[in-house]
Amino acid sequence: MPRSIFRKDVALQAILYIAQNIERKDIHKICKILYFADREHLSKYGRSITGDVYIAMAYGPVPSKVEDIFKAVRGDSYFSDCASDLKEYFDFKNRYIIEPKKKADLDYLSGTDIECLDNAIALCKDMTFSQLTDLSHDLAWNNTKKDRAISVKDILREAGDDEEYAEYISSKLKMETSFI
């Protein structure tokens, strides 16, 4: 799996921000909103909001580290005992619906982060599970073996970016992660 510069605090605040702005707070919808927001931000501004790596799973792209956070809070992870700091942000009503415990701290989200989150929320908030799944089964998802990381280049191609820009951003991110 490619390394990433995951921004845990930003991701947590993005989850809370999304939860504040949608009625049904299920993890499928939150993951799809994050995907579309990260895709737009990566295309427009050369970085994703969360820094997460998206995995091609059965119902579309899933942010790997955010999924790990959800599993830890839900108690489905070996590391759930270490998740007390995560549980201050949200809990689960059932296995799939989160219940925020606080509002998003917008100091963690840039203006462009909020712009792309708002666009993705507007796109997805009224969609059903099936509609979101179909929408996210895009070129990037289709070009990736299941349960593998989706390439940044394919995400950018899906966003409509040309090959030169996709190569540039992909190379830039590889260079940034080589210093981790």
Please write the tens of the pLDDT for every residue from 54-67.
999 999 999 999 99
23, part of any domain:
yes
Q: 22 is in which domain, residue-wise?
A: 8-177
Beta carbons within 8 Å of 24's beta carbon, 6+ residues apart: 97
The per-residue pLDDT for range 27-36, each reduced to its tens digit, is 999 999 999 9
* Structural domain includes residue 19: yes
Strands 60-63 and 54-57 turn out to be: antiparallel
Q: Is residue 3 part of a domain?
A: no
pLDDT of res. 179: 62
Q: 92: which 2 tokens?
A: 């689960």
Q: What is the mean pLDDT of residues 99-116?
A: 97
Q: Is 116 helix (H, G, I), strand (E, B) or coil?
A: helix
Domains in the chain, number? 1
